[in-house]
Structure 1
Amino acid sequence: MDISERPRRSALYLPASNAKAIAKARTLPCDMVVLDLEDAVAPEMKAQARAAAVAAVAEGGFGHREVAIRANGVDTEWGLADLAAIAGSQADAVVVPKVDSADDIARYQVALADAPAAMRLWAMIETCAAIPNLNAIAAMAASTRLSLWIMGTNDLAKDMRAQLTPERTPFLPFLSLAVAAARAHGLAILDGVCNEFRDLAVFEAEARQGLLFGFDGKSLIHPAQIEPCNAVFSPGEADLAWARAVIAAFASPENQGKGAIRVDGRMAELLHLEQARRLVAVAERIAAVA
């Protein structure tokens, strides 16, 4: 399966030090699990959490879910030890925080030199310094393990001294720029967390905003957010019906070789055929793991 067809609707953060939460994650319908060694772990628990994350990945049981470990920054006292441990683990990816520039990606690439070839690098975009460097950072995907971005809107709000309201008005230009840079260089990209996990209507509205911007999915802080997140980022029945109609129409003998045709009263071009095929592939993948 093309990596772009892999569902990445929901990525649940869990403290790597919480064995009970990790055990529960193996039963939850999220597409991705991120075992956190950074923000969710107190300094005195860092080494213990590191060992627990590696052990949890080795134990397995996560099924179809991608499993990543979020390291502390390479410039912290724990960062290099985290990267060494993760490189020797069976995690699908390492998540690295507060990436400011392409040079940061290069440093992480070197630090992961001994990791399995299949291990991916996922970067957090969450600082003011990263914003003018988005294209340069994304371009590193061509020569490194970098394959996915996660927006860190909480840290970005702190860095900007901006207010993180439900509308996210101060951050809208940056969300759009990040999606555009990611798409230009073939990266997957996830929207940042929503701090509201009690009022799921607020969460759903933010998730729909992320879908509107073109994000593949969203990072989550609570299991209650998984189901509404999956619903928002799953192809809808109307969209799937249109996609299948476009695929069938272009496959029809009378439309062979045409670049633009009419489908159910609407114009469809080859770019719509490409979008339709991807949408159906994602829907089939979701159905296969449901």
Structure 2
Amino acid sequence: MLSSFTEPLEKGKSWGLESSRSLIRVLTLFSKDSFIALNLLSHPEDYEKDSTISTIDQIYIISGLYAKNYFFGDLQLIHVAKSDSRLANNDLPVDIQRLRCRALYDALHFSPSINWLGKKLVERLRSRAERYIVLHLRYEKDMLSFTGCTYGLTDAESEELRIMREKTNHWKTKNINSTEQRIGGFCHLTPKEVGVFLQALGYPPSTLIYIAAGEIYGGNAHLSELTSCYPNVVFKEMLAIAEELNPFSKHASQTAALDYIISIESDVFIPSQTD
């Protein structure tokens, strides 16, 4: 995920990886973490000749190893350029995908401020109930627009989502049949359907439910279809004061990190997607 980075002992010097041979050479420099490469790459010498592994793919692999030893340990600043992080993309060799996943998982950590607030919100949830579940309710406006899933929405809402999809240039699919999407299983559960699902699982109405999501499309008009069955529903905005959330409010990935911390500490995690 790094396009370039600076070595601590030579501040200001920037370098990148230009070939698969560089990948093998750099991995051997980090004796403490090189076992990751040795264990996960079956035949690393083969990748010197593999033209399908691009520069950015090599950087994905070593970035976690490098950052873990040399940046996070010394609390030095590191800039991570946004790039494509999906392991299933680009038809990469399985060994490379495994190594990318392991290196990034071991190396990346949330900032102290995110960790602090995330743990604080977990404490506040535990003060409300002994147990809580997290519902990953994907019912945001952009998600509904992108997928074309308009079941249960008004004609005006469906048209608003269609216009949004039409105006979003990087969304390639414009004409979507909502009925076909739903029949094909490509739509997330609606708030009402989630309520029915929870009832079928036997959760009592008093269950404490934390919603891990962005702003729910239609607000209470649609959320009430869930809260009428389960009134004990909370969002991060109900657990934290504005001053605590303001530093993260303009960064979706940071607020998502708070949701992640709360989710992994929960007793049950329930996604609303059907795939």
TM-score after normalising by structure 2: 0.23
Q: Which has the higher strand share?
A: 1
Task: Give 1 or 2 for the bigger CA radius of gyration.
Answer: 2
- If asked which structure has higher relative contact order (CA below 8 Å, sep 6+), I would say 2
